[in-house]
Structure 1
Amino acid sequence: MADAKTLVMTLDEGDVYIRLRPDLAPNHVERIASLAEDGFYDGVPFHRVIPGFMAQGGDPTGTGMHGSDKPNLKAEFSDALHKRGTCSMARTQDPNSANSQFFICFEEADFLDGQYTVWGEVTEGMEHVDALPKGEPPANPGKIKSMKVTR
């Protein structure tokens, strides 16, 4: 998967193109890409969408309490900034607890810098992320129709 370049996430609103950053977080990029290729994210909701902050998904139960059956990942923190369009891993208070959940920043969130693993950045289609139903959880959450890796 190290040669993967772009992740295409299809939402109801349209396609979101995410440039993968194996230079920052090779293990997290590998995890996201392999889960996407396995169809893990297909149909998974964005269970936490906070205006002015971020949209979080990646839990197949939609509760925010679960992930994949793969082991948690060791943190790969970098100096990458959490700005509009940044894709980063969600985790518990344990820095080494990222699994399959991720979030996309709506705006700058510099208080997250150096504490969450950045694995990509939206290059096209951020307006579709902006259009996701808001809430914690949203009454009728937006779902990932599919996620595919392109090379």
Structure 2
Amino acid sequence: MRLKVTKFLVTFLMVAALMLGGCSTQQVSSSTSSPAGTATETSNTTTTEATPVPETTSESIPGMSNLPRLEGKATVVMTVKGSPITIEVDGTNAPITAGNFVDLVQKGVYDGLAFHRVVREPQPFVVQGGDPQGKDPKFPAGRLGTGGYIDPKTGSERYIPLEIKPKGADQPIYSKTFEMAGVTTSPELTHKQGAIAMARSQMPDSASSQFYFALADLGFLDGNYAVFGYVTQGFDVVNKIQQGDRIDSAKVTQGAENLKVPQ
């Protein structure tokens, strides 16, 4: 019994740490909130389902047609402290999430940004970055984790819906965790070591630009957060990242033609 309780407490503390690092109270609509770390869903977040959405289609989600989409796969090379990390971005199973990431890479959003949260104790968890506020060297490090990408066309923060494809399904489920949607299968893209996924607040549709690398197999996050690719080379570089380290650059090296950006 003591071992089970200890394991539960470790898991709880890790997820809590991921949430506390960057929650903001901004609410932009009935179905979105500001981006931050990740957390398990609680009963007070289910109010985000105000607009019914078909679980296997995206056409009814407001703003979906205005988001970038990756139709296929792409390769991104992210350089940290002079060393490359190669990421295969999977738009086949997560077209909106992958498209958002590749579009931000193409725009240079991630260049120079800091990794503001690194959790390795009590056991390997995540390395998280992608807050554009980190571009400003004077921005307080303790407040990183509260920002997202501001679209210059609208002057507002770009949010993307939670997008997770069940194994064997034709389409992803949008705006719902698997628990909320009653899905009992595993996702196509799981939180195995080396996964890259979108960070968000408790609201399902609050991801923007922040992402995290899984430092270990994190199956307890499957069905709750959107994995969109995997590190294929350079995981040793990810393992050496320390809080405060910055991304030298991020470049799309293959598959740029698969990115479809609304005009």
Q: Tell me the TM-score normalised to structure 1 length.
A: 0.91
CA distance in 2, matches of 1:72, 1:5: 21
User: Does 2:217 align with 1:108?
Assistant: yes
Pick from 87, 92, 107 the counterpart of residue 38 of structure 1.
107
Deviation of residue 5 (structure 1)? 1.7
3-state DSSP class of the match of 2:108?
Answer: coil
Deviation of residue 101 (structure 1)? 0.3
Q: Which runs of 5+ in 1 are unaligned?
A: none
Structure 1 contact 13–131 (Cα < 8 Å) conserved: no
CA distance in 2, matches of 1:19, 1:13: 19
Q: Which runs of 5+ in 2 are unaligned?
A: 1-69, 135-143, 152-157, 166-186, 255-263
Structure 2 contact 82–248 (Cα < 8 Å) conserved: no
| Consecutive aligned runs of 4 or more in structure 1 exceeding 4 Å deviation | none
Question: Whose RCO is larger (CA < 8 A, sep 6+)?
Answer: 1
User: Does 2:159 align with 1:72?
Assistant: yes
3-state DSSP class of the match of 2:127?
Answer: strand
Q: Which has the higher strand share?
A: 1
* Greater gyration radius: 2
Deviation of residue 3 (structure 1)? 4.8
Q: 1:58 to 1:143 in 2, by over 3 A?
A: same
Q: Which has the higher helix share?
A: 2
Q: Which residue of 1 aligns with 2:248?
A: 145
Aligned length, in residue pairs: 145
CA distance in 2, matches of 1:3, 1:96: 23
Q: Which residue of 1 aligns with 2:66?
A: none
Deviation of residue 2 (structure 1)? 2.8
Q: Alpha carbon RMSD of aligned pairs, Å? A: 1.2
Pick from 208, 212, 228 the counterpart of residue 119 of structure 1.
228
Deviation of residue 150 (structure 1)? 1.6
Structure 2 contact 163–226 (Cα < 8 Å) conserved: yes
CA distance in 2, matches of 1:142, 1:130: 12
3-state DSSP class of the match of 1:129?
Answer: helix
